[in-house]
Amino acid sequence: MKLPVALAIVVGVVGGILTWLYVGPLAALGLFVPATFMGAACYFAAGGDLPALKKSMPANIWGVVMGTITLIVASLVSGAALTGVVVGAGTAILILGALVPLLEFVPGAVIAFAMTVGWGLLTSASGTDFAFATGPFTVMLVSFVIGGLYGWVGSILVGKLVGATSSASAPVAKAA
């Protein structure tokens, strides 16, 4: 099977199942489909193999942590201008995290940060709310972790469909 066809089948089927779970049986958890898809995209962008998971997952978690801290600080100020300053400062600190080797995958950190802050600001969710369905940290953390695992498992399945070994996920990243 050609790689793009295998990738389309796996991402489509697994993505559809995850979406059904999120809006159906697991709806009470408030998991966020776009964050899960972004977690998978970060995995593929980082290389689409096990080392990529070890690179994208910490970056995503760092982004969620910094996004949550930024939401907490933003709740202490009033006005769009000060909120912008807080988000800008949070973004700068987030990127400085790349000085730590474990957090050097900046795209993964920025994507998770943006999803967390964006979701929090658009839903008026409190950064200090850690409940499922309503807490930015919890919703985004679990959604991104599932996304990274979705990418990793998907790359293994795609490798099997194209007749390659499970470590052949680097070509999957190139096709993605």
* pLDDT value for 176: 55
Q: In degrees, to the nearest 5, what angle opens at C-alpha 133 toward C-alphas 15 and 14?
A: 10
CA–CA gap between residue 122 and residue 139 (Å, rounded): 14
* pLDDT value for 132: 87
Burial letters for 91-117: b for 16+ Cβ neighbours within 10 Å, e otherwise? beebeebbeeeebebeebbbbbbbbbb
**Residue 166, token pair as written in the block:** 């499970």
CA–CA gap between residue 43 and residue 53 (Å, rounded): 6
Q: Tens-digit pLDDT profile for the chain (176 aa)?
A: 999 999 999 999 999 999 999 999 999 999 999 999 999 999 999 999 999 999 999 999 999 999 999 999 999 999 999 999 999 999 999 999 999 999 999 999 999 999 999 999 999 999 999 988 899 999 999 999 999 999 999 999 999 999 864 444 455 555 55
* pLDDT value for 166: 43
Inter-residue contact 159 to 166 (CB < 8 Å):
yes
* pLDDT value for 170: 52
CA–CA gap between residue 14 and residue 151 (Å, rounded): 10
CA–CA gap between residue 105 and residue 173 (Å, rounded): 15
Length of the chain: 176
CA–CA gap between residue 133 and residue 128 (Å, rounded): 13
Q: How many domains does the chain have?
A: 1
* pLDDT value for 163: 87
Residue the block writes with tokens 């942590």: 65
